[in-house]
Structure 1
Amino acid sequence: MRVMVLVKATEDSEQGFKPTPENMQMLEAMGRYNDELAKAGILLAADGLTPSSQGKRIAFDGASRLLIDGPFAETKELVAGFWLWEVKDLDEAIAWVKLCPNPMPGPSEIEIRPLYEMDDLGLDTGA
């Protein structure tokens, strides 16, 4: 099963990365964690995102498109980074997240979301 593991944004992450000693230690710890994920064969992709102030949104309503410039409100609803993992089940993903170093200087949250597979949608994969 594939899962998207989302690091939720915080006020700190929305300020952008600053190379302080604390942040560099956090980055090194995350690098070691990513190495362990890769060695375990579950890491498909991973990256951090810039603050929402550097982002754009496109709002859809029928044929209409509206460009919205960041920053975006509700920081707790934003994503600061992600992993894409291939795990045997949700319990394995939970176990790995519990081993993760805190991705932020203060309180933070990580969300795990399974991806839809073709079988979940009732589509014939041709296999």
Structure 2
Amino acid sequence: MRYMCLMKSSETNGETPPAVYAAMAEYDRWGRATGVLVDSHGLLPSEAGMIVSLVDGSIKAVDGPFTEAKELVGGYAVIDVRSRDEALELGRRLMQIHKDHWPGFVGSVEIRQIAEF
């Protein structure tokens, strides 16, 4: 089963500490070596992004930053696991990395199974 993991946090958390990058690199190496991690990357701040929406029949494009958003997706991972519980455990490991290496970090990881028809 494949899952999309969306790492969400507030851009007010500040700069990512080097220890988080080091721990994430180790997590990434482990995941790729075991075949659990299919792909992962961090995303640039929302000021480099845009949103295209359809509301009331009108298509509208808005450039970032998205200051009204409480949480923004800061990175993603696609994982390939045997069970929902295994996906949940990997999400917990991601949060543990942030807890251990980023004092005061507030965020979440949304884990969604990829529909494979």
TM range, normalised to the smaller chain?
Answer: 0.7 to 0.9
Among residues 43, 51, 54, which one is paired with 1:57 in the alignment? 51
The aligned residue for residue 36 of structure 2 is 42
User: Which letter does structure 2 place at the counterpart of 1:41?
Assistant: G
Question: What is the Cα-based RMSD across aligned positions, in Å?
Answer: 2.1
Among residues 69, 76, 96, which one is paired with 1:74 in the alignment? 69
Q: C-alpha separation between the residues in 1 aligned to 2:51 and 2:10?
A: 19
Larger radius of gyration: 1
* Structure 2, unaligned runs of 5 or more: none
Q: C-alpha separation between the residues in 2 aligned to 1:112 and 1:88?
A: 14
The aligned residue for residue 91 of structure 1 is 85
User: Which letter does structure 1 place at the counterpart of 2:35?
Assistant: G
TM-score, scaled relative to structure 2: 0.82
Superimposed CA distance per residue, residues 42-97 of structure 1 (whole angstroms, 9 cap, x where no aligned partner) = 11110011111111111124864211111112232x20100001111111111122
The aligned residue for residue 114 of structure 2 is 115
User: Which letter does structure 1 place at the counterpart of 2:70?
Assistant: T
Q: 3-state SS of the aligned residue for 1:88?
A: coil
* Structure 1, unaligned runs of 5 or more: 119-127
Summarize the Cα distance change of 1:49–1:89 in structure 2 as closer, same or farther, 3 Å threshold.
Answer: same
Aligned length, in residue pairs: 111
The aligned residue for residue 26 of structure 2 is 32
Q: C-alpha separation between the residues in 2 aligned to 1:11 and 1:61?
A: 26
TM-score, scaled relative to structure 1: 0.76
